[in-house]
Structure 1
């Protein structure tokens, strides 16, 4: 089959979850003998025409010049180019800035859209933007032949809200197998003598709730806040609010995957406060990195972690967990169970094959 992947900034990945998936899946498809094309930003640092046998199409992307509206221009450029390529299948990753162009999608291609999370619930957006995102969500459903939900919660939401079926295929991950204590030296940390979180500085990631709980508990262990805060209004607010608590360390964004894996692996408690979205990549990475997880209590997180985590809804519950759980090794069954889930349910090989099987099944009917 001739397959295109739209909706990312391009590969190789140097940005985020969808880009990582696009890289792994496109290379997998190529190795299986399919003709694969990935649309990439003209501003991507990698400008070669191919990557590991995958064809790359670099489209003009003015986001760095004109801001968010540039995402809409980039997506239009990608869709406009796709009209002349005669793709069998077009996989769209997300819909935020592409669904308004749905009428321009090529009619002869089967359109499959990964619906991502509930973007319109993100409180960082204004009411007008959130209203648009809800509208964009409905357009994506109308403009797609098939939908993919990366969590059971999203699948149930699509069925209840729009009466549509979707294929549940979660995100993928790996088990981290090469811990190195030397990484901790760069952060002046001791194994299992610190707690942490990794998140974008956004209110719906429960960062303020978690840090309020840290203060309330009186826990003196270092608490690492990993996420870019210096160019973010909410990040500035958090850093100012907690400036008088030296145990809370805002270390900024860390983009070295080996460092992130080691920090998770050697932490005592790992907090995951995401409240919006489906199968969050960072949660799977934590599960595969020997993390003892304390997650926000919602159906998205619970569907993945099940009984193998601690949960919280407010700062009081965060504080109680910090007060009562002081030795990660007392909960090795949680760690082992989560590692096993990654091996059995969330390997990239399994996720990629599930996508391919779904493509082959649905395209046979589409033809």
Structure 2
């Protein structure tokens, strides 16, 4: 089959969960003999083929509100201009306006709807209204909807009565990982806590730093992340960390060997994400065999099978850190169970097989469009 993948920054993966998913899924589909084209940005302009996938680079408007939408618009136009794909996977419900264009050319489209983006504080009233509209438009125009977590599938069922394909992310499982990259940071294996997240309110980086600072933790905290569009929030995080030598703000880390070492050799991983579905950062920590202290929402509890410490505010995080540092055997046991669950439940081979099955169904004419094209939010959830 010809398969198009659009709506992300593309491959090689160097940014977030969607890009990693495209790389992992697309490369496996290519290995199975499919012709996979990935549309993305101009980060790697000289890469035209990657792991068997054809790579197409596109411009974008470098403004928070328009970057994804503009890049995806160019990707849709390029898709329309080329050989017609047998199936297209569009990542991010924000790109829903282009689904009708693709379907008008006879291209069946599945939309990976992601998390509840409209709940993010970085979007103002217009941005949140747009994301809610885009969710509804994706339901009414797509041939299939992909949810990466049971909570997302339940949301679309309750909000719109819409059927989704539940296809999880995969987790990279690390059995052995060098400690050498930690040396330059002055970190000891199993001798630090780590948090990895973009600096956004919904990822609770500020609460993590405040809770850690208020705690009696012996082990230092390494914080990986940045915020391209949130200067005020970044300043608040830095202010909260100022004067506490235990807190190391590392900024964005793009060296995969260093990231792997941070995940694999941390004493615990602090996970503050609250509005996504199955989060890739959490899966990386699980696959690395690291125990987690997670923000207390259903998405995180489900992924972790409730085998973790949870917190809802800075004070609860301080308590969780105290409990974790006081019980090393439990930390080790939870880390081992997390890795076993990651290897058993979150397998990229299984994910790619589900995408292939869905693409085959779409190419054969399977579609929810007839049932969902008139869908509306239920009255109690209309606001």
TM-score range, shorter chain: over 0.9
Q: Distance in 1 between matches of 2:177 and 2:36?
A: 35
Between 71-80 and 324-333, report the one with greater CA deviation: 324-333
Q: Structure 1, residues 234-289: CA drift from partner, whole Å, max 9, x if none?
A: 11111023312221221111111221121122211211010011100000000011
SS state at 1:90 partner: strand
Q: Tell me, yes or no, if the aligned pair for 1:2 and 1:89 is still in contact at 8 Å.
A: yes
Within 5 Å, give how 1:298-313 maps onto structure 2: 298-313=297-312
Q: Normalised by the size of structure 2, how large is the TM-score?
A: 0.89
Matched, 1:69 2:58: no
Q: Tell me, yes or no, if the aligned pair for 2:196 and 2:224 is still in contact at 8 Å.
A: yes
CA apart distance, 1:51: 2.4
SS state at 2:364 partner: helix
CA apart distance, 1:365: 4.0
Between 297-306 and 316-325, report the one with greater CA deviation: 316-325
Which consecutive residues of structure 1, in runs of 5 or more, have no partner in the other structure? none
Q: Which has the higher contact order (CA 8 A, sep 6+)?
A: 2
Closer, same or farther: CA 28–137 of 1 in aligned 2, 3 Å: same
Q: Distance in 2 between matches of 1:268 and 1:55?
A: 40
Aligned to 1:232: 231
Within 5 Å, give how 1:342-357 maps onto structure 2: 342-357=342-357
Aligned Cα root-mean-square deviation (Å): 1.9
Q: Normalised by the size of structure 1, how large is the TM-score?
A: 0.93
In the alignment, which of 212, 215, 234 is matched to residue 214 of structure 1? 212
Within 5 Å, give how 1:115-194 maps onto structure 2: 115-194=113-192
Q: Distance in 2 between matches of 1:229 and 1:6?
A: 24
CA apart distance, 1:229: 5.4
Q: Structure 1, residues 195-239: CA drift from partner, whole Å, max 9, x if none?
A: 121111011111222222212223242111111258732111110
Q: Distance in 1 between matches of 2:64 and 2:162?
A: 34
SS state at 1:82 partner: helix
Aligned to 1:106: 103
Q: Tell me, yes or no, if the aligned pair for 1:292 and 1:328 is still in contact at 8 Å.
A: no
Q: Distance in 2 between matches of 1:181 and 1:15?
A: 23
Aligned to 1:251: 250
Q: Tell me, yes or no, if the aligned pair for 1:196 and 1:224 is still in contact at 8 Å.
A: yes
Q: Distance in 2 between matches of 1:351 and 1:101?
A: 25
CA apart distance, 1:364: 2.7
Q: Structure 1, residues 279-322: CA drift from partner, whole Å, max 9, x if none?
A: 00000000011211000111100111013211111222111112
Q: Distance in 2 between matches of 1:331 and 1:222?
A: 16
Aligned to 2:279: 280
